[in-house]
Amino acid sequence: MTPPRICALVGRFTDPQVAESAQAVLAHLAGRGVTVRVDAAAALAGGPGATGVPQSELGRGADLMIAVGGDGTLLYAAGLVARHGVPLLGINRGRLGFLTDVMPQDIPECLDAALAGRLDADERPLLSARLHQAGAADRDCLALNDVVLQKLATGRMLDFETRVAGRYVNTHAGDGIVVATATGSTAYALSCGGPIIEPQLDIVVLAPICPHTLSDRPIVVSGHSLIEIRLLERPDTRAQVTCDGSVLGTLATGDRLEIRRAAERITLLHPPGHDYFRLLRSKLHWGRGDLER
């Protein structure tokens, strides 16, 4: 990794804890002669060491994106840099923090490691979702964690069918379905009974949400698969599609959602010695003894 000279910084800076860590990042990088970009509309934009730019320009030309907050903040940052190939570093000021694994007290040491090119690079695949709606232009989005089809507003179950690589899989009745990467296997898919997948595995998890049929269980398919979802006729049916929590659009009867592996990838940066299974033990409170065993 080339030593970063231009960094982008994102976070919910109105949160005092986030602002505190963001100021520490700004001060440290300014002392190292690094330019730091922030959203021109953000609270930090007028402060010392911060260069305000339009949100859409944060990732363009940057050498490093730093997300301060929880996993939701990192997913937002991933959307800003996914098409620019900018590596992403997460500083945890959230709750669980599967993706933001730098603790506030380690900011100076970790930033110096980033400037020296000593962080561990971890490439993660993205999902590309395309929504085909009758009479409307197709809509696309990228997702690091998951693409979710879920019922909207009416409270009624959805009827929908799934196909994988052109082959019919099932007709589902329930609240929707989560299509997750290995990275997203510890997010919404996990609460739907899906498995935890080691991030390096090239797979996709299909996890039904509150299925009406108890045998409708999560399945794991190849990451190369094209996944198609069609909404079937049911009175007063409305469904919504989200990518990492951001709304892509609504799905009506006969519309089609296509999900496949994206050409783009995200590079996450971790402190040296990062261990995924140690992370799981810490976040999920596994083990009865020493977490470092």
**Positions marked catalytic:** 71
How far apart (Å, rounded) are the C-alpha atoms in residues 190 and 207?
Answer: 8
CA distance 41 to 271: 30
For 33, counting Cβ atoms within 10 Å of its Cβ (0-12 exposed, 13-18 middle, 19+ buried), the class is exposed
**3 state SS of 52:** strand
* Whether the Cβ atoms of residue 159 and residue 234 lie closer than 8 Å to each other: yes
d(CA 39, CA 58): 7
Give the separation between CA 102 and CA 110, rounded to whole angstroms.
7
Question: By C-alpha distance, which of 82, 72, 274 is closest to 184?
Answer: 72
Kindly write down the DSSP assignment for every residue of 192-238, as one continuous string: TTPPP--TTS-EEEEEEES-SSTT---EEEETT--EEEEEPP-TT--
What single-letter amino acid sits at 146? D
Task: Please list, residue by residue across 261-290, b when 16 or more beta carbons sit within 10 angstroms of its beta carbon and e when fewer do.
Answer: bbeeebbbbbbeeeeeeebbbbeeeeeeee
Element holding 281 (H helix, E strand): helix 276-284
Judge contact between 129 and 240, C-beta under 8 A: no
CB 150 within 8 A of CB 239: yes
Tell how far CA 27 is from the center of its chain.
28
